[in-house]
């Protein structure tokens, strides 16, 4: 997906679009009429699910969108889900359900992360599929997840990786080869795992609690239970300016408080319950002692009343035009017919109490999801409008206190030891499902060699640098694989310290000496041809002088403690083996070895220091890992936490 397009979607918003898979030569006007008709039919199909759903911020909505640029005409919408991620998964379930009921439509759903369904199935995706190559390739079609493939040896169907298909091209391929575009069972199972329990999960995500709230709040929630969401959000996001309106409580006076049953989503209840709050004394909202059996009901009711008061303090009673009944809307008649055709009223007689309740919920849903946005009003205005149109009956609410249903337990807020045990028991199942991935990782770790670390460092030190700085040997990664048994044996010998007894401390010194010797031989040849003698003597003297300097430096360093900071395990092991094979030497070899200059194993010290630095990083970024990555060396994860 384009980076700019991803950034245009807010962090807590999900966008969804439904396209006609085949237009069959329809004109733009015919396409518009067809899509608008499908919009009403789809909303009528899912109305029974949506009327009982409490959205965190914005509801699910579908509107017709004309063709714009490369995006064909479609049905689309966007929803802010705030802190409740379940709203996003419920929308994905709705899209799967709608594309199954209407097979002529294909849906795309995205959020700030792009095609977030692929994130859930990341462990099972093909290697070529990533955020850079997934643009316009992921669709929900006929109730299943589809991914437009990349051409392969077995099939030429699809779009190559260097091509970003347009939506029109993608829809043509999807309609022509749906079986080829169908995602694998593992991908589909992982991507749909979060919402497979819908629609049953809708009720499971609700929480019913008793609250002491003003009678006006109880009246509003009895008519519009979904208005609890903006009230909780207003309290949750309150600031000192908002609380100034809660000193007098002009709209919801505390002396009218009654005990009522309020239905929250679990997210809303957690937001309200977990906040510590002490009301202003001037508000007359006094809380009983914490030991009081109704303390939680008083506390929840106080917080909820503050949220409703904040909403109303920012709004005014809307004009009479906003109170126009939905029956005056030309779309209402067609929408009502679609509801009847889809069995929304469940066979109830027209005029019955249950039929009236269903009709009232349908009108509310129509205002939220079907009617144009120009006629929408804020939550505070809706609350004031409901209070204006519904006179309060305080005595009636007092009578209902004895008939309240029991409240739900909020033990789900805490993870018990049994819950933790169940989570731990699920781990082996997940680990077993990813056994193949672990085996691949183990194979990669088995193919990793410490020789590559030391050799990569040597290549970097031996490489020529320019005025722009040192160049890392990335080219080693793209070279074809080759295996030289001789060089491998030579590298192992060096790593084991078998050829280090006469190695100088400076890696390039031997090469420089060989170069000097080569020049000395060339000078000998030139001398035979009549070259001057002083040149030969000058080269030899330079070489002898350099060697004497190095020998003197080694002798001086031997008398210090610098050598003790380096590892000499391989050399000492070799000395011990030689002394064990010559028991008659009476330790003479060991004493002589200690007197001599003990060469260091450069490779062992290098690898040991790098591994020690990596261990101290504890898996985080650090100098050692950054250095090795810049050299093109990938270190496998630490499988031994000790």
**Which residue ranges make up each domain of the chain?**
3-195, 205-318+377-411, 417-446
Q: For residues 99 and 74, give the distance between their C-alpha atoms in angstroms, rounded to a whole number.
A: 14
| 575 alpha-carbon distance from chain centroid | 56
Number of H helices, E strands in the chain: 28, 8
Q: For residues 622 and 600, give the distance between their C-alpha atoms in angstroms, rounded to a whole number.
A: 27
Best CA proximity match to 255, nearest among 212, 310, 191: 212
DSSP three-state, residue 130: coil
Strands 63-65 and 105-110, how do they pair? Answer: unpaired
Report the alpha-carbon angle 123-126-128, nearest 5. Answer: 125
In this prediction, residue 478 carries a pLDDT of 47
Q: For residues 145 and 191, give the distance between their C-alpha atoms in angstroms, rounded to a whole number.
A: 8
Q: For residues 551 and 541, give the distance between their C-alpha atoms in angstroms, rounded to a whole number.
A: 15
In this prediction, residue 139 carries a pLDDT of 96
pLDDT averaged over 10-residue windows placed end to end, the chain, 642 residues: 58 94 88 92 90 92 92 94 95 96 95 91 90 92 94 87 91 94 94 90 94 94 93 93 88 92 96 90 88 93 95 82 65 79 80 83 76 68 89 87 91 84 68 52 50 72 67 51 63 57 46 49 50 55 80 80 65 51 47 53 76 78 77 65 51
Best CA proximity match to 249, nearest among 310, 315, 316: 310
Strands 105-110 and 138-141, how do they pair? Answer: antiparallel
Give 341-361 as a DSSP string: HTTTTTTPPTTSHHHHHHHHH
Q: For residues 222 and 217, give the distance between their C-alpha atoms in angstroms, rounded to a whole number.
A: 9
Give 30-75 as a DSSP string: HHHHHHHHHHHHHHHHHHHHHTT---SSS----EEE--BTTBPSEE
Q: For residues 388 and 418, give the distance between their C-alpha atoms in angstroms, rounded to a whole number.
A: 50
Q: For residues 402 and 408, give the distance between their C-alpha atoms in angstroms, rounded to a whole number.
A: 17
In this prediction, residue 25 carries a pLDDT of 81
Q: Strand runs (DSSP E) across 353-432, as ranges?
A: none
């Amino acid at each position: 997906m384009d980076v700019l397009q991803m950034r245009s979607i807010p962090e807590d918003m999900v966008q969804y679009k439904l396209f006609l898979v085949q237009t069959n030569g329809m004109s733009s006007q015919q396409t518009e009429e067809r899509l608008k008709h499908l919009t009403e039919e789809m909303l009528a199909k899912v109305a029974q699910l949506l009327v009982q759903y409490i959205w965190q911020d914005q509801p699910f909505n579908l509107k017709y969108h004309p063709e714009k640029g490369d995006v064909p005409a479609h049905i689309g919408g966007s929803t802010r889900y705030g802190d409740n991620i379940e709203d996003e998964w419920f929308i994905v379930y709705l899209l799967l359900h709608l594309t199954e009921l209407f097979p002529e439509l294909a849906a795309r759903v995205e959020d700030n992360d792009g095609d977030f369904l692929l994130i859930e199935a990341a462990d099972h995706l093909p290697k070529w599929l990533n955020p850079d190559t997934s643009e316009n390739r992921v669709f929900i079609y006929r109730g299943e997840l589809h991914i437009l493939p990349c051409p392969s040896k077995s099939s030429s169907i699809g779009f190559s990786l260097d091509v970003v298909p347009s939506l029109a091209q993608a829809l043509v391929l999807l309609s022509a080869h749906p079986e080829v575009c169908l995602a694998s069972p593992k991908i589909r199972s992982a991507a749909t795992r979060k919402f497979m329990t819908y629609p049953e999960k809708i009720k499971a995500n609700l929480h019913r609690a008793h609250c002491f709230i003003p009678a006006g709040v109880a009246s509003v929630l009895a008519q519009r239970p979904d208005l609890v969401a903006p009230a909780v959000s207003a309290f949750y996001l309150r600031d000192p300016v908002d609380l100034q309106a809660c000193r007098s409580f002009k709209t919801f006076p505390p002396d009218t408080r009654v005990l009522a049953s309020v239905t929250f989503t679990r997210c809303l209840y957690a937001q309200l319950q977990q906040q510590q709050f002490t009301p202003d004394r001037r508000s007359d909202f006094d809380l009983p002692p914490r030991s009081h059996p109704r303390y939680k009901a008083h506390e929840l009711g106080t917080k909820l009343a503050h949220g409703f008061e904040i909403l109303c303090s920012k709004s005014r009673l809307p004009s009479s035009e906003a109170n126009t009944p939905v029956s005056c809307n030309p779309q209402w008649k067609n929408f009502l017919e679609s509801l009847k055709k889809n069995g929304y009223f469940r066979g109830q007689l027209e005029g019955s109490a249950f039929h009236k309740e269903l009709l009232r919920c349908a009108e509310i849903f129509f205002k939220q999801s079907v009617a144009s946005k120009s006629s929408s009003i804020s939550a505070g205005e809706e609350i004031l409008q409901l209070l204006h149109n519904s006179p309060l009956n305080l005595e009636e609410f007092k009578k209902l206190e004895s008939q309240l249903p029991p409240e739900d337990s909020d033990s789900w807020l805490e993870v018990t030891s049994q819950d933790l045990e169940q989570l731990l028991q699920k781990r082996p199942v997940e680990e077993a499902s990813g056994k193949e991935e672990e085996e691949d990782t183990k194979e990669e770790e088995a193919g990793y060699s410490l020789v590559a670390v030391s050799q990569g460092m040597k290549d970097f030190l031996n490489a020529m640098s320019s005025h722009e700085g040192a160049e890392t040997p990335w080219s080693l990664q793209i070279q074809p694989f080759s295996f030289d048994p001789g060089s491998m044996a030579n590298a192992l010998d060096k790593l084991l310290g078998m050829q280090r007894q006469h190695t100088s401390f400076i890696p390039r010194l031997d090469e420089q000496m060989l170069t000097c010797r080569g020049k000395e031989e060339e000078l000998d040849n030139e001398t035979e041809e009549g070259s001057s003698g002083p040149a030969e003597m000058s080269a030899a003297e330079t070489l002898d002088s350099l060697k004497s300097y190095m020998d003197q430096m080694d002798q001086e360093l031997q008398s210090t403690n610098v050598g003790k900071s380096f590892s000499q395990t391989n050399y000492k092991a070799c000395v011990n083996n030689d002394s064990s094979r010559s028991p008659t030497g009476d330790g003479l070899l060991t004493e002589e070895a200690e007197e001599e200059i003990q060469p260091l194993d450069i490779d062992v010290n290098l690898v040991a220091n790098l591994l020690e630095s990596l261990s101290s990083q504890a898996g985080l970024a650090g100098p050692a890992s950054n250095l090795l990555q810049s050299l093109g060396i990938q270190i496998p994860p630490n499988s031994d936490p000790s």
